[in-house]
Copies of this chain bind each other. A is one copy, B any other.
Amino acid sequence: MTPDWLAVDWGTSHLRVWLMGPGGTVLDQRRSDRGMGNLARGQFEPALLALVEDALPAGGPLPVIVCGMAGSRQGWAEAPYATVPCAPPSITAAVAVETADPRLTVFIVPGIKQVAPPDVMRGEETQIAGFLADTPGFDGVLCLPGTHTKWAHISAGEVVSFRTFMTGEVFALLEQASVLRHSVTGGDWVDAAFAAAVEDAISRPATVAAELFSIRAGALLEGTGAGASRARLSGLLIGLELAGARPYWLGQDIRVVGAGGIAGAYHAALSAQGASVATVAGEGMALRGLRAAHDRLREAAQ
């Protein structure tokens, strides 16, 4: 069975493709590590073909809808940012990319920028579009945890403002490459250590810089276990983020869009602050947004 169109989420470090059938069904999904970060401009089309060529139909060109970093200046083709406040950009704002292979018709959905304070997103806007396709009247705040966690204030179907935190990347660097790596590797996560660290960082954000090395010293002098130390490191960083993101979540209706440990950590930290929070599965949210874009493409074609 050949696909009707391809949905593509192309990030810095990954390429994910869904082969889409009638009615938005997924016939197959494929992924590779050929992310934007290790591709030159001319390598995007071959990287995509390498993943899907066997499934291409013999007939007319196949629509390919792409979101993510493939639309950046260093990507396949630049899709200029939309500017907040705006609805998540859809197919109408997409950039058509000329391909050497006539079997493909490629559209790249742009990201969003904010002028003050300066901020950008590419990929998350499509997750937000997916969320809004399912929950059209939502008025509140989305938290999308990840390497770079995004907080977005949503109202009347638009992204009003947003802010990015490098918490996930800072955690990974400290966990894997800093002096703390000796103290946080191994062991089971300790919820109470995470909760205490979040509270410390929210109530006294200035102390976070000193508390980081105390993790190492605590392991040396008090024998603190690696699981408790890792949870404390995560809690200090997420707590500092929550202190800085307070205008986003305080008194708001919050949805954490994600799954697994990281979404659970944000949910727990927000709940402990008395915030109104629910978690919705992030898996598939980008696909949901790409599907919404394809629906619009079909409508436009009719």
Contacts and interface: CB of A to CB of B under 8 A. Distances in A.
Q: Please report whether the interface of chain A is mostly helix, strand, loop or mixed according to DSSP.
A: helix
A213 B124 CA distance: 15
B240 A206 contact: yes
Contacts of A165: 209-210, 212-213
Interface in A186-222: 205-214, 216-218, 220-222
A134 interface: no
How many chain copies does the complex carry?
A: 2
A250 interface: no
A298 B201 CA distance: 50
B179 A210 contact: no
A178 B147 CA distance: 10
Contact of A221 (B115, B170, B209, B218): B115
Given A173-B173, A217-B118, A221-B120, A245 B148 contact: no
Interface residues on A, range: 35 or more
Interface in A159-184: 163-167, 169-170, 173-174, 177-180
B222 A118 contact: yes
A244 interface: yes
B167 A218 contact: no
Nearest to A248: B210
A179 B240 contact: no
Interface in A71-121: 113-115, 117-120
A70 B295 CA distance: 66
A118 B163 contact: no
Contacts of A120: 216-217, 220-221
Given A117-B214, A244-B210, A166 B148 contact: no
Given A148-B179, A177-B173, A221-B113, A166 B119 contact: no
Contacts of A173: 173-174, 177-178
Contact of A166 (B114, B209, B246): B209
In order of increasing CB-CB distance, the 9 nearest A-B pairs are A206-B243, A118-B217, A164-B213, A205-B206, A173-B173, A205-B205, A206-B244, A210-B244, A118-B218
Interface of A: 113-115, 117-120, 148, 163-167, 169-170, 173-174, 177-180, 205-214, 216-218, 220-222, 237, 240-241, 243-246
20 contacts: A118-B214, A118-B220, A120-B216, A120-B220, A120-B221, A148-B179, A164-B210, A164-B214, A165-B212, A165-B213, A166-B213, A170-B170, A173-B173, A173-B177, A205-B206, A208-B244, A209-B237, A209-B241, A209-B244, A210-B241
